[in-house]
Homo-oligomer: A and B are copies of this chain.
Amino acid sequence: MRTVRVGVVGAGNMGADHVSTLHRWVSGAEVTRVADIDADRAAAIAAGVPGARSTDDAHALIDDPEVDAVVIASHDTTHADLAVAAVRAGKPVMCEKPLAPTVEECVRVVREERRAGAGLISLGFMRRFDPAYVELRSAVASGTCGAPLLVHCVSRGVSSAPGCTDEFSVTGSAIHEFDTVPWLLDSPITEVSWHAPRPTSAVTGLRDPQLMLLHTADGALTTVETFLNAGYGYDVRCEVAGERGTLALADPARLVSDATRARSTAYPADWRPRFADAYRLELQAWIDAVAQGRPSPLATAYDGLVASVVAEAVIASMKDGGRTIAVRVPEL
């Protein structure tokens, strides 16, 4: 089985993590190129991998004959064009979510992909590879809890990034649930509505937390709480309540500690410790598929489009007083 030579576009936190994961932990992968508009940053990241070279030209990386497959982890606004370029070059691409900032652009990418080579684009919805989510999905599918009726999702973080907008809770955080819930239930989201308490005083001028209701075609109802400034830790929860019982993600902490009048488990400060294994397993699955010429088991460009359609519907509800909005995926 040949080694897959990977070019990584974007040398920010996400890209640097992917470079490191591919290099250190993924069997059968070799990072050969790193691109970033900031050439120094690209060079710094490439320096950590023997044999890797850097560039400030993402398109050069895509066309490089020493690159078999491309990871896109650059700014959201660049995803669509780079993905299309990779597809046209006939190279498999693993694009971080979102596929593109707007539904229109997502549609364009999916159309281009269908024309040029269906299945070349994989989308980085890594929760599909998180062992706990995988176990949850498998248990739901096996009927352990009976037919699902309610799903309760919670995504909390310590604090939002500067300049965070009301929409980011939807497009940057809840979008994971927009992909995960249909994948868990094997049923698409059909209707959504948006709700919120008064905002936390931790940040001025931001609607945080938010609460979204999602109806899926199977009749289940999902609540999604996003709370970017929850303060106490990074905490992702999911419970599926069905006709016979429930299934929920367990507290992922590895240690229990007794000290100063309390028994406690620790929360991480951000998503990295929580989903490090999911990213590793996602990249390994992608590399294995590329190496063996099999279809990618990751989320597809179309999945990315659908998640963006849901996000736009939720934002429409946010701007229309919490009205219920139907989800309509455009014809392709």
Contacts and interface: CB of A to CB of B under 8 A. Distances in A.
A324 interface: yes
A77 interface: no
Most chain-B CB neighbours within 10 Å: which of A198, A245, A248? A245
Contacts of A256: 247-250
Interface in A217-254: 218-221, 223, 225, 227, 229-233, 235, 241, 243-254
Nearest to A146: B231
A308 interface: no
Contact of A195 (B221, B227, B255, B268): B221
A269 interface: yes
Contacts of A247: 255-258
Contacts of A215: 197
Interface string A128-143: 0001100110010000
Contacts of A211: 150, 213, 221, 223
Nearest to A244: B231
A261 B233 contact: yes
Contacts of A252: 254
Classify chain A: how many residues form its interface, as a range: 35 or more
B241 A50 contact: no
A329 interface: no
A1 to B, nearest CB: 5
B267 A245 contact: no
A101 interface: no
Contact of A255 (B28, B135, B235, B322): B135
Contact of A196 (B197, B221, B265): B221
A198 B220 CA distance: 6
Contacts of A152: 152, 225
Contact of A267 (B209, B220, B225, B258): B258
A263 B264 contact: yes
Contact of A259 (B27, B28, B232): B232
B25 A284 contact: yes
Contacts of A225: 150, 152, 241
Most chain-B CB neighbours within 10 Å: which of A149, A202, A225, A288? A149
Contacts of A227: 149-150, 241
